[in-house]
Chains A and B, each alone.
Chain A
Amino acid sequence: MDGHGGQERQLFELGRLVKAGLTQPLGLMRPGGVGRILAVQSGEGDIERGLLEMGFVEGACVEVLHHGFLGRDPLAVRINQTMTVALRRGEANAVLVGPLLDQGADTRSSTGQEARLS
């Protein structure tokens, strides 16, 4: 996580997973899109903690409900069917989302641990 190298590697990892077509950053999802959070990772510790405190945690289900009317920013995201949170695309991209019904669904926390980058 420290310095440039860490960030670059993280971006590379993220890109690899996205290319595989299975995962994507929350910020790229369209309204109506659903998924399960695989990783919450940001270059800045405070944003990561902020996201975690608002319920964006590995294993949680997310559904993108709305986009803002300018530049499709910010996003309104429903977490675990209960809480709705507004956040900007920049922060949303720190949340990596995978398919809702993957094999990890039953072993959520362990999947979460493995999928966390860095």
Chain B
Amino acid sequence: MTAGTLAAEGFRPARIALVGPPNSGKTTLFNTLTGGRQKTGNYPGVTVERKSGLLKTPGGHPVEVLDLPGSYSLRARSPDEAITRDVVLGRQARETLPDALVCVTDATNLGQHLRLLLELRQLGRPLILVLNMMDIAQKRGCQISTEALSRQLGIPVVTTVAMRKHGVRDLLGQIDALLNQAPAGDGVTAISDWVEPSPDAIRAHHREVERLLQEAVVREGAPEHLTRQLDRVLLHPVAGPLILLALLFLMFQAVFSWAEAPMDWIDGGMAGLQQWLSAHMEESLLKSLLVDGIVAGVGGVVIFLPQILILFLFILLLEDSGYMTRAAFLMDRLMSAVGLNGRAFIPLLSSFACAIPGIMAARTIAHPLDRLVTILIAPLMTCSARLPVYVLLIAAFVPATTVWGGIGLQGLVMFGLYATGIVGALAVAGVLRLTLLRGDRQPLLMELPSYKWPNPANVLLGLWERAKIFMRRIGTIILSVLVILWFLSTFPAAPEGATEPAIYYSFAGLIGRTLEPLLAPIGFNWQIAIALVPGLAAREVAVAALGTVYALSGDEGAVTEALTTTLAQSWTLATALSLLAWYVFAPQCLATLAAVRRETNSWRWATFMFVYLMALAYLAAFVTYRVALALGGG
């Protein structure tokens, strides 16, 4: 049975895809159309996000709306543009050809945006043109005759303001009209005769757009002024980079200070839960699994949710306002020195929250080599999962004194760890570009959209999305790791008259003791070796594991506090520094490796990343340990 007949028999809703250049308002329109009824997933094989949502038109048609990645042309240049092309042409695996296309354009930039519409029109599919951002166009005194445009193009044309419901009503009306006259699914399943436009075809489209606008534009609007003025400061050769630096500083400051209170609440909540469980359950293996394994472990991870959300809040605000591309502009030259593209700045910034969304964001980078390098160095950005380990070791070993008149030494060390990650990443990128991933310098062609006030609904939905992804990760991979870890460190039980903590005799202890000789040169004792084993799956677990090793129990906060004193007594400074250096580089996150595999479509690069990070971690820890010993840190 074809998709067409299925739809005709009412088995599936009509499918409508939103297509348009970046920043034309597709996602805002999508959010307004579908509200909370969205589903985010991935296209098979790649981590390009697939966003769809269900709605019912006023005329009673059930419709599935698809938000496609932005694209200036069907001649896709990057992996996410390729998704747009493949969906529009019906070539995307497990995705039926959309029943109608809605081309979303920025009414203040029709001169550039209508060209994509002409490309889409050639496909001969049902098509609606949306002139979005009408509020801005009107404010600038621009007048466009939708009738003339509609007549010239032979398709329905509507104007919208994407975040306002009533502007979107017209669009729904047009969708209804389209579906009434041609019920979803006309039997066409793919478009096979599409060819990439040649340069001359693009030029012809430009001329056609010019002609169309001559017919349809009643009055041209005044050019945008505010963005120009703002850019004069924000892209200024001196002020620009300084403002960017200040913004980044503010962002990290916020991640640490704003998150404190909610982190305390989560901590308190988890501790309460643990106490309640301890008090109300019989002593049993199940209780041990729940209290020591799951609640303690999950609590130790959930606690980072506030930091991740704050970081994403900043990133979403910067993105929605249009500043992110300016950051990429400012960073491009610096990054191209190590063979990276300015666009890589955005994924790398996201990686400070978590490498996985960072790796996903790399899909906007057109060139495969540029993208691969960006993916491979993303885990070197200090993600929030490393924080608990950093915080623990710094609190235990770095005195809380101030240097150089008021700068806290502990904060300085923390900054040093972040900086080491960044410098390491740039160095690795430079080396990769000179060796394995040699290739031409790739062009940077990037629109700098006009500045806009971030749309609260967009930002909130974006945050909600992140929170869901994070919690899902906890519910799946982290939970299973915790259960396995609990099993490994509980069985077999300690023999009668044991002198070491129980974990010493368990499977985890066995693994740790086996690894010890390998890790001795970098100053790790068997306790660290044991903690590293579960820490390989997810970094956050390492602190909880250290707590278990040192036979401490209690909630996350209490463990951290008690550990600080225990570690300060039982480790040397050289060992602590060595572990910190290890943590800057070590690939300790299964989910990241899985994301790299999915993104590059092969285990090859995931394996490569694991090996090179492992080697770097070992080397860094070794050098740190030896240097610290030589300087008397033993």
Contacts and interface: CB of A to CB of B under 8 A. Distances in A.
Chain B contact patch, size range? 35 or more
Given A50-B445, A109-B207, A67 B237 contact: yes
Nearest to A56: B445
Interface stretch (B123-131, B224-232, B577-585): B224-232
A94 to B, nearest CB: 9
Interface in A56-90: 57-58, 65-71, 73-74, 76, 79-88, 90
A65 B115 contact: no
A1 to B, nearest CB: 10
A48 B446 CA distance: 15
A90 B441 contact: yes
Contacts of A91: 443-445
Contacts of B441: 88, 90
Interface in B336-360: 336, 342
A52 B206 CA distance: 9
Contacts of B108: 82
Contacts, number: 116
Interface stretch (B178-186, B324-332, B493-501, B507-515): B324-332
Given A66-B235, A68-B332, A83 B112 contact: yes
A82 B231 contact: no
B332 A86 contact: yes
Interface stretch (B35-43, B72-80, B89-97, B305-313): B72-80
Task: Say what secondary structure dominates the interface of chain A.
Answer: mixed
B112 A79 contact: yes
A69 B332 CA distance: 10
Chain A contact patch, size range? 35 or more
Interface of B: 72-73, 75, 77, 108-109, 111-112, 115, 197-199, 202-203, 206-207, 223-224, 227-228, 231, 235-238, 240-241, 325, 328-330, 332-334, 336, 342, 441, 443-450
Nearest to B224: A82
Contacts of A104: none
Contacts of A84: 227, 231, 447-450
13 contacts: A57-B202, A68-B237, A68-B332, A69-B333, A74-B332, A76-B235, A76-B448, A83-B112, A84-B231, A84-B448, A84-B450, A86-B325, A90-B441
Contacts of A96: none
A26 to B, nearest CB: 13
A107 to B, nearest CB: 12
Contacts of A48: 199
Contact of A70 (B112, B334, B445): B334
A53 B446 contact: no
Nearest to A48: B199
Nearest to A108: B210
Given A82-B108, A86-B325, A87-B444, A69 B72 contact: no
Given A66-B231, A84-B448, A50 B443 contact: yes
A85 B446 contact: yes
A-B interface, 10 closest residue pairs, ranked by CB to CB distance from nearest: A69-B237, A70-B333, A84-B448, A52-B202, A81-B223, A66-B235, A57-B206, A91-B443, A86-B446, A86-B329
B330 A49 contact: no
A85 B203 contact: no
A47 interface: yes
**Residue from B109, B325, B329, B449 with most neighbouring chain A CB atoms (10 Å):** B329
A45 B381 CA distance: 36
A69 B206 contact: no
Nearest to B204: A109
B221 to A, nearest CB: 9
A45 B449 CA distance: 26
B129 to A, nearest CB: 18
Contacts of B77: 46, 50
A109 B203 CA distance: 9
B443 A90 contact: yes
B75 A85 contact: no
**Residue from B73, B75, B448, B450 with most neighbouring chain A CB atoms (10 Å):** B448
A54 interface: yes
A95 B241 CA distance: 28
Given A50-B77, A70-B333, A45 B444 contact: no
B443 A55 contact: no
Nearest to B73: A53
A65 B332 contact: no
Contacts of B446: 85-87
A83 B109 contact: yes
A51 interface: yes
A83 B448 CA distance: 8
Contact of A73 (B72, B238, B333, B450): B333
Contacts of B444: 74, 86-88, 91
B231 A76 contact: yes
Contacts of A49: 73, 75, 197-199, 202
A30 to B, nearest CB: 13
Contact of B115 (A53, A68, A85): A53
Contacts of A70: 333-334
A7 B241 CA distance: 37
Contacts of B227: 84
